[in-house]
């Protein structure tokens, strides 16, 4: 019986790996609840003295001091709106610029601990399970400096270590990343699940298909993405 079960699992695994359907998961906003983690950390730091939070880091102290002068609280929705404006090339308010600048102070911290502290997004495992039933699954995430790649890999191992991702790719040019896989050249189908239109446009321009996971890390987005996966 044990041998029978092992052979059956092997059959299922090989059947998926031979699939012509390839599903790529973005991390931030899809598997990771980036905006909630960042908003919580920013609000925690807003209640403290900049010299205390960023001892010895002049840029961190200056950026947090400016943020404190302009805002008293940051919400996940504000962070979403700022990213949308940034991607669209729209003008941002002084408050929004201060928030955005401090986001990069947090994400660029040399320890990289913020990446390990990220919360798992709503419905992440459910979406992964649904995608696995239909094809090969990958991670395709945009990095924020070298430290983020290392820590994102650690985070994936910590929360989804048992998942059979075919590959974990880190690139800010998701169209180029798709082209490098050779999937489209082979006439096979590649689908990216991403919350940002910027990356959706890159992927589609390279011949891929997409599922817009928005509003990011919400039950509504999960429901829509699962419905889209169900139609594959």
Residue 3's pLDDT is: 43
Domain with CATH 3.40.50.1000 in the chain: 2-31+121-230
Residue 224's pLDDT is: 97
- Which residues make beta-bridge pairs with 22? 136, 190
Residue 18's pLDDT is: 53
Cis peptide leading into residue 86 (ω within 30°): no
Tens digit of each residue's pLDDT (9 = 90 or more) over 215-231: 998 999 999 999 999 99
Q: What CATH fold (topology level) applies to the domain 2-31+121-230?
A: Rossmann fold (3.40.50)
Residue 208's contacts (CB-CB under 8 Å, 6 or more residues apart) are 24, 175, 178, 184, 190, 191, 192
Mean pLDDT by 10 residues, the chain (232 residues): 40 53 98 97 97 95 98 96 94 97 95 96 97 97 94 97 95 98 97 97 98 93 97 88
Residue 217's pLDDT is: 86
Residue 198's contacts (CB-CB under 8 Å, 6 or more residues apart) are 87
């Amino acid at each position: 019986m044990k041998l029978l079960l092992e052979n059956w699992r092997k059959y299922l695994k090989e059947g998926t790996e031979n699939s012509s359907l390839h599903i790529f998961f973005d991390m931030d906003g899809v598997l990771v609840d980036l905006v909630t983690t960042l908003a919580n950390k920013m609000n925690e730091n807003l209640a403290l003295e900049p010299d205390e939070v960023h001892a010895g880091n002049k840029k961190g102290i200056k950026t947090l001091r400016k943020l404190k002068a302009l805002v008293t609280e940051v919400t996940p929705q504000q962070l979403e709106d700022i990213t949308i404006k940034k991607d669209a090339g729209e003008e941002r308010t002084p408050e929004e610029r201060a928030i955005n600048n401090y986001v990069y102070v947090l994400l660029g911290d040399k320890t990289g601990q913020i990446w390990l502290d990220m919360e798992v997004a709503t419905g992440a495992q459910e979406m992964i399970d649904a995608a696995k039933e239909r094809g090969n699954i990958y991670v395709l995430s945009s990095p924020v400096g070298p430290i983020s790649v290392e820590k994102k890999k650690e985070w994936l191992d910590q929360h989804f270590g048992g998942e059979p991702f075919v590959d974990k790719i880190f690139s800010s040019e998701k169209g180029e990343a798709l082209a490098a896989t050779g999937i489209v050249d082979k006439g096979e189908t590649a689908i990216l699940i991403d919350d940002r239109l910027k990356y959706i446009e890159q992927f589609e321009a390279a011949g891929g298909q997409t599922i817009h996971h928005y509003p990011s890390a919400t039950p509504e987005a999960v429901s829509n993405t699962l419905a889209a996966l169900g139609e594959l």
